[in-house]
Structure formats: C-alpha cells, structure tokens
Amino acid sequence: MKENKLADHLMNHFKLGKESLHGPGHWEKVLQNGIEISEMNPNIDADVVRLFSIIHDSKRENESIDVEHGLRAAESISQLEKLGLLTITSEQKGKLYYACQHHTNGKTSSNLTIGACWDADRLELYRVGIIPNALFFSTEEGKKILANRYN
C-alpha cells in the first residue's frame, strides 16, 4: 500500500523522531479522525484527507512554534510524487497543498475536503493542552465528533 511506503519515507526523514508530539502517533490519530469524518460525508475526498494526515506535520523542525512547517509540508508534495509515493490528480494536489500550507492558521474552509483535513487535525489539539473549539471547525461532521468526545 502506497500510504505505508509514504509514511515510512516521511518517518525516515522526520527531524523530531518517532516519539514527537507531532510525529507518527499524531499522524495516525489524524488519519483515524479523517476516516471517521470522510465516512460521514461522501462529498469529502477521503484520499486527500488520508494523505493530509500523513504529510501535514512531517516537515516540523521543532515541537514548539514552527510557522513554516505547513508550507514545507505542502512544498514536499511534488517531490513525493516524483518519488512515486503518491499519485493524485491536479485538483487533489491543489487541495492537499492548500490544506497542508494553511492548517495552523486557525481558519475554517467552505471546501469540505480541506475542512475535513483541518477538523481531523484539530480533534487532536488536546494532546498539546488545547481543548478544541467548534467555532474553528469547518464541517458538521467534525463538529459532531467534537461534541461526542468533549460533552
């Protein structure tokens, strides 16, 4: 499966190590959240959400404030394609790039797929001591999961 090869490649090049708050354990939880959100709405591109979960924090250089990590992750997408680790359409690439680049900006998105990416990540904010707020969720699906977990 390409996603396993992609995750292995990214882990092998991840500067913060396997035990990082932003590492593979987090990627896996975001993946689980993304799958759950995507299964609730067939209009969400689950492939983009799955790829986002693995890529979005893969270029972090520290555990604290790293404002450029999303952009670095987005910019790595073309190289990952060249390596044959992902095959996506140009539309999917655009959504994945945008979602990775802007995932820490605190915005919401009217695009269901981008919103699902961000919601899947924000559902895991508790791991860094932040209680997620529904005002910063883009999808109704993400808000439902949030309400079920924290209410």
Read off the pLDDT of residues 12-29 as tens digits, 9 standing for 90 and up. 999 998 888 899 999 999
The three state secondary structure string of 24-59 is: HHHHHHHHHHHHHHHHHCCCCCHHHHHHHHHHCCCC
Q: Tell me the C-alpha to C-alpha distance, in Å, between residue 94 and each of 26, 75, 111.
A: 23, 11, 12
pLDDT digits (tens, 9 = 90+) for 45-65: 999 999 999 999 999 999 988
Q: Which residue has the tokens 């490649």?
A: 9
Q: What is the mean predicted confidence (pLDDT) over 73-94?
A: 97
pLDDT of residue 1: 47
pLDDT tens digit sequence for 131-145? 999 999 999 999 999
Instruction: Write the CB contacts of 121 (distance below 8 Å, at least 6 apart in sequence).
Output: 30, 33, 52, 53, 56, 103
94 — alpha (psi -120 to 50), left (phi > 0) or beta?
alpha
> How many residues make up the chain in this entry?
151
**Burial letters 123-149, b for 16+ CB under 10 A, else e:** bbeeeeeeebeeeebbbebbeebbeee
Q: How far is CA 74 from the centre of its chain?
A: 11
CA 27 from chain centre, in angstroms, equals 7
Domains in the chain, CATH or no CATH each: 2-150 (1.10.3210.10)
List CB contacts of 79: < 8 A, sequence separation 6 or more: none
Find tokens 């799955």 and name the residue.
50
